[in-house]
Every structure is written in C-alpha cells, then in structure tokens.
Amino acid sequence: MSTYYYSKTHECFRLEDGEAVVSITPYAVEQLGEVTYVQLPEVGKHFALGEAFGEVESVKTVSELYAPISGTVKAVNSSLDDAPEQLNEDPLSQGWLIRLSADKLEELDDCLDQAEYQAYLDQLA
C-alpha cells in the first residue's frame, strides 16, 4: 500500500521512483461532482509548492489545482483529455494528474499524513 501525502487544498501524492504522482483526494472529487474537463500543464514546466498547475471543471464548478510539492513536470495523464471521468471513478490510480520530480523533499514535512488530513476534513464538516 502506498503512502500518500496530503495538502489542505485537497491534492495528494505518493512517491514512486523519486517522483511525486499527484492526484486529487476522494474528498475533492466528492465536492466537485461529475468532472467534465481537466487542464494540465506541459511536461518540463516547474512549479513551486502551492503554485497553480491546472484546473478541473465539473458540472458544479471550476477549481484550480495546486502543486503539493515543488518539482518539474515529468509526465501528464493525457488519458484524462478523452476520459475526465476517470477522476471520479479512481482519483488515486487511473485519475492521477501529473508526475513531478520532487526536488525539495524537505517539503514533505509540510504535508499532512492520512490521519492529519482526516482530522482536517473532520474540522470542515
């Protein structure tokens, strides 16, 4: 089972081969409703922690996506272009968004673990 790191803006990632595989959380998917479009950045673009890297459009709203860790985009999930509903069906696996080279691993200390993220969600309720 993979370890996920979470942000208060509802992005999350797991480390895989030195890269952060970035997704949105199941909570974010639930809040968005049916996803209709995903805008992702180009490979090679660098993002700082907290910087907007794309957008998710749903039947309810448009939400920006924020980098949960600093890094350079190594890959984007281009299958979301034709099938954005993958975000609704499986946000942590099929619905991954981007892969970042995690170039500031010390930022992991600023991320929430699963228990901390759940406590944060409990405060929102």
Q: Which fold has domain 4-104?
A: OB fold (Dihydrolipoamide Acetyltransferase, E2P) (2.40.50)
How does pLDDT run across 24-80, given as a tens digit for each residue? 999 999 999 999 999 999 999 999 999 999 999 999 899 999 999 999 999 999 999
Do residues 97 and 54 make contact, with C-beta atoms less than 8 angstroms apart? yes
Q: How confident is the model at residue 1 (pLDDT cuts 50, 70, 90)?
A: low
How does pLDDT run across 36-50, given as a tens digit for each residue? 999 999 999 999 999
- Long-range CB contacts (< 8 A, 24+ apart) of 60-67? 60/31, 60/32, 60/33, 61/32, 63/28, 63/32, 65/11, 65/24, 65/97, 66/7, 66/9, 66/11, 67/11, 67/22, 67/100
- Please tell me the predicted confidence (pLDDT) of residue 44: 98
| Residue 16 bridge partners (DSSP) | 19
Tell me what the pLDDT averaged over the chain comes to.
94
How does pLDDT run across 4-15, given as a tens digit for each residue? 999 999 999 999
Considering the entire predicted model, what is its pTM? 0.94
